[in-house]
Amino acid sequence: MEYLLQLAVSPTAWIALATLIVMEIVLGIDNLIFISILTNKLPAQFRTKARRIGIGMALILRLGLLGTIAYIVKLTAPVIEVFGQAFSWKDMILIAGGLFLVWKATTEIHHSMDPEAKAAEDSTAGISLGFAAAIGQILMLDMVFSIDSIITAVGMTEHLPIMVVAVVVAVLVMLLASEPLAKFINDNPTVVMLALGFLIMIGMTLIAEGFGAHVPKGYVYAAMTFSAVIEGLNMLARRARHRRQAAQG
């Protein structure tokens, strides 16, 4: 109890908490985009449930991993060497997760652009993904993003209570943002393509980091922000054009 009181009155602890919350929310955006795109392919009555289960599992995984910090830190130690390149368990997990993201996003782009695939999807009333399959894929990516999130948290502070609070707050923000984000993505097909492009970029970043090439997150999120702003301007232009056409008609 005395330890918690010392943290509560420490300005440094509050600064660390605020910084870590922001970092966890930013890292959670990747996870949330994937969950939103995947659950939008489910029948409407299952989407909210799947999103809540996916985000709930993300919280459980993160809290569970926090309880094994000593083991998680060891995941960064090299365990295998291939052609002079050493790989840790973390590296291999990042590579596997990155490959899965690239494969999944590329597949979704193909389905979106292929008229035959689109027609087949429409003929089945939009049911192109089973509930269990969606949860399984969400769980797989939750694990990848959770390990990355916890290792980031360990690198920023040594206080476990700060990590727990930051993770819980970040996941609660994900939960609150999940419905509006999923609806926005579902209502704007061009945003879906942009989000899939983000997933490919994130996947390639994970693969690069798994091979030891550090990619500053600032560059990645700056590119995502720039693309999102451009798409926002395009959406405003389309709406203005539609209003003009409606007024002339």
Domain coordinates in residue numbering, the chain = 14-215
Q: Which residue has the tokens 């966890």?
A: 24
- DSSP one-letter string for 148-211: HHHHHHHHH-S-HHHHHHHHHHHHHHHHHHHHHHHHHHHH-HHHHHHHHHHHHHHHHHHHHHHT
DSSP-based three-state secondary structure for 117:
helix
Model pLDDT, residue 28: 79
**Measuring CA to CA, how many Å separate 126 from each of 37, 39, 185?**
14, 12, 16
**Measuring CA to CA, how many Å separate 185 from each of 34, 41, 107, 131, 167?**
11, 11, 17, 19, 25
Q: Which residue has the tokens 């782009």?
A: 109
Alpha helices (H) along the chain: 2-8, 11-39, 44-66, 69-74, 89-113, 115-123, 131-156, 160-187, 189-210, 217-248
Per-residue pLDDT of the chain (249 residues; tens, 9 = 90+): 676 677 677 787 788 788 788 877 877 777 888 888 888 888 888 888 888 888 888 888 888 887 777 677 677 788 888 888 889 888 888 888 889 888 888 887 887 776 565 555 544 444 456 788 888 888 888 888 777 777 777 766 777 788 888 888 888 888 888 888 888 877 777 777 887 888 888 888 889 988 988 877 777 778 888 888 888 888 888 888 888 888 886
Q: Helix axis angle, 189-210 relative to 89-113, nearest 10°?
A: 150
Left if phi > 0, otherwise alpha if psi is -120 to 50, otherwise beta: which for 114?
A: beta
Model pLDDT, residue 20: 80
Model pLDDT, residue 30: 77
Model pLDDT, residue 97: 84
How far apart are the C-alpha atoms of 93 and 99, rounded to whole Å? 10
pTM for the whole structure: 0.68
CB 24 within 8 A of CB 153: yes
Cα dihedral across residues 97, 66, 56, 26: positive or negative: negative
How far apart are the C-alpha atoms of 51 and 183, rounded to whole Å? 12
Both ends of the chain: CA-CA distance in Å?
Answer: 70
How far apart are the C-alpha atoms of 180 and 39, rounded to whole Å? 13
Model pLDDT, residue 118: 52
Give the contacts of 61 (CB within 8 A, at least 6 positions apart): 142, 143, 146
